[in-house]
Amino acid sequence: MEISIYSSDIRDFDNEVDRKFDIKDQFGSNIFDDRGKLSLENYEYSIEPDTYIAILIQMQEQIDNLTQTVEQLKHKSDWVSGYDDHGWNTK
């Protein structure tokens, strides 16, 4: 097997890699909500469920849900500092 690599194949390789990882370049700015987080709220196209962008969006939703849950628990327990104010056993 012979592999040939030409200079035109690798010219601007770094820029191409950066462009491929740029979500706005790949999917447009509508993939972000008004807070700058990934969301399908304003996105007009379907996303395949097993793609990396779908997984990132699901992770963003999980983070948002966990953040809301933590904030509710902090409010209910009077957790002010972000540390263990009450000496609870968490093990």
State the pLDDT at residue 59.
94
CA–centroid distance for 48 within its chain: 16
State the pLDDT at residue 24.
86
Separation CA 69–CA 48 (nearest Å): 28
Whole-prediction pTM:
0.63
Separation CA 43–CA 57 (nearest Å): 12
Q: For 19-32, how does the pLDDT look when each residue is reduced to its tens digit (9 = 90+)?
A: 888 888 888 889 88
State the pLDDT at residue 85.
61
Q: For 55-86, how does the pLDDT look when each residue is reduced to its tens digit (9 = 90+)?
A: 999 999 999 999 999 888 888 877 766 666 66
Q: Between vectors from CA 34 to CA 64 and to CA 71, what angle results, nearest 5°? A: 25
